[in-house]
């Protein structure tokens, strides 16, 4: 789950053995993802024809992240939330990230994307929360 300034990778189960098995791949997916240029173009942004069968039609920006941001930025509730968050976090390091706009996505380069990931998705930025009836000592040993 991705928010304005965080990403959450939840792991939950009622079977203790499964709990200690399922999260093993999550750190690897976060710290060593396949950040290929093809993935960047699909997930981030790329240009397509407005009409697929008409090579003279206008170009449009497409991409999963771009389209999701457009959707998130189109609701009045989202606008109010972002404005309030910007005011609260104006002097905070995350304030700049809260000012992102879908229109800025097409200016992101593949190299910039990889640098952002290396900086933001680093283990030193992680918070790990555990809850339930498994003893803390077992969580820490894991």
Q: Report d(CA 142, CA 135) in Å as an integer.
A: 11
- The model's pLDDT over 101-114, given as tens digits with 9 standing for 90+, comes to 666 777 888 898 88
- The model's pLDDT over 41-59, given as tens digits with 9 standing for 90+, comes to 888 888 889 998 999 999 9
pTM: predicted TM-score of the whole model, two decimal places: 0.59
Residue 136 CB contacts under 8 Å (≥ 6 apart), including other chains: 130
């Amino acid at each position: 789950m991705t928010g304005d300034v965080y990403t959450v990778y939840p792991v939950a189960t009622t079977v203790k053995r499964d709990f200690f098995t399922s999260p093993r791949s999550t750190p690897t997916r976060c710290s060593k993802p396949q950040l290929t240029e093809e993935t960047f173009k699909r997930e981030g942004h790329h240009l397509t024809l407005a009409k697929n069968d008409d090579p003279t039609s206008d170009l449009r920006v497409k991409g999963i992240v771009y389209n999701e941001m457009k959707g998130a930025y189109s609701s009045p509730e989202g606008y109010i939330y972002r404005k309030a968050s910007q005011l609260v976090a104006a002097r905070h390091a995350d304030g700049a990230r809260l000012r992102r706009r879908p229109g800025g996505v097409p200016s992101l380069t593949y190299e910039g994307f990889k640098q952002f990931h290396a900086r933001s998705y680093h283990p030193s930025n992680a918070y790990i929360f555990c809850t339930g009836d498994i003893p803390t000592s077992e969580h820490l040993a894991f």
